[in-house]
Structure 1
Amino acid sequence: MKVILKEDVEKLGTAGDLVDVKPGYGRNYLIPQAKAILATDGAIRQFEKMKKQAELRAELTVDAAKELARKLEATSVTIPVTVGEDDKIHGTVTNIQVAQALEERDIIIDRRKITIDEDIKSLGEYTATIEVLGDLKPKVKVWVVKQE
């Protein structure tokens, strides 16, 4: 019996694979558990079409991520803060403030994807790393200045 796997199945194959299994295994386990579908001609054509569309979406995602990374590398943000004596700031600058500063430049980034390399407790220039996609992690300059 030939089936198309809808998800990864240990010792059998990965999602999208066309595999030959014993009829009982296919009918009694894989198909009822929604781990596979029966490999008819129509199902094979439909699955191939879906696979191509997924590959195109993945390519577009990677291209968009690279473009965003280039845009971020060329960007620096300025965060005005109130300061006390010796130019020490009240509190610290957080990833939330960096995300808001990027949003003002029409770059929407989830705050959880922003990592500030060191605690920002005084005025100056700092670096924030932004996780865009996998190993693609551009750095953004963060300028902390005195609020006027």
Structure 2
Amino acid sequence: MKLILTQEVSGLGTPGDVVEVKDGYGRNFLVPRGLATSWSKGGEKQVSAIRKARKTREIATLEEANSVKAKLESKPVRLAVRAGASGRLFGAITPSDVAAAIVEAQGPQVDRRKVEIPSAIKTTGEHIARVRLHPDVQAKVTLKVVAEG
């Protein structure tokens, strides 16, 4: 099955890529979640529009990505969340929470889809999250999760 990716899919491609996947994966996972649309000859216009929009949002150069990486790694990001007496959170920290906390901490605007949390954060303390800034540059952000109040 030939599809056009509309969002980044780890291990598969970036928005605007035309990929060949197994029928079940495309029909049952990618298309229903809005990660891809079916490919057609008229879809090539859509591919070019997606690529153009991605270029305007992306960090263009390696030097710029390295400067943003230095900003992100220079200081830890503090997240105040609801937690029980034992330090266990009511819920978990999401990539959206991390992106919002980075902006709150006077950091650069980061797309939530570029934030990767290796394992679920469900306790207070220090944790690490990765932010993909460029295909060659990833920043490791230190998160200090503290209880509210």
* TM-score for both structures, normalised by structure 2: 0.56
Aligned-pair identity in percent equals: 33
Q: Could you tell me which residue of structure 2 aligns to residue 19 of structure 1?
A: none
Q: CA RMSD in A?
A: 1.3
* Secondary structure, counterpart of 1:90 in structure 2: strand
Deviations 1:23-49 (Å, cap 9, x if unpaired)?
Answer: xxxxxxxxxxxxxxxxxxxxxxxxxxx
* Offset of residue 87 of structure 1: 1.8
Counting only pairs closer than 5 Å after superposition, residues 114-125 of structure 1 correspond to structure 2 as 114-125=115-126
Q: Could you tell me which residue of structure 2 aligns to residue 86 of structure 1?
A: 86
Counting only pairs closer than 5 Å after superposition, residues 1-148 of structure 1 correspond to structure 2 as 61-104=61-104, 105-148=106-149
Q: Give 5+ residue unaligned stretches, structure 2.
A: 1-59
* Offset of residue 64 of structure 1: 1.0
Q: Structure 1 counterpart of 2:93, which letter?
A: V
Whole-Å separation in 1 of the counterparts to 2:85 and 2:62: 47
* TM-score for both structures, normalised by structure 1: 0.57
Q: Structure 2 counterpart of 1:119, which letter?
A: A
Kept after mapping to 1: 8 A contact 2:131/2:139: yes
* Secondary structure, counterpart of 2:136 in structure 1: coil
* Offset of residue 97 of structure 1: 0.6
* Offset of residue 124 of structure 1: 0.8
Please identify the structure whose Cα radius of gyration is greater: 1
- The alpha-carbon distance between structure 1 residues 140 and 106, as it changes in their structure 2 partners (threshold 3 A), is closer
* Secondary structure, counterpart of 2:79 in structure 1: strand
Whole-Å separation in 2 of the counterparts to 1:75 and 1:108: 15
- The alpha-carbon distance between structure 1 residues 69 and 106, as it changes in their structure 2 partners (threshold 3 A), is closer
Deviations 1:71-112 (Å, cap 9, x if unpaired)?
Answer: 112131110011124221100011101100111114100000
Q: Could you tell me which residue of structure 2 aligns to residue 22 of structure 1?
A: none
* Secondary structure, counterpart of 1:132 in structure 2: strand
Q: How many aligned residue pairs are there?
A: 89
Whichever structure has more helix as a proportion of its residues is 1
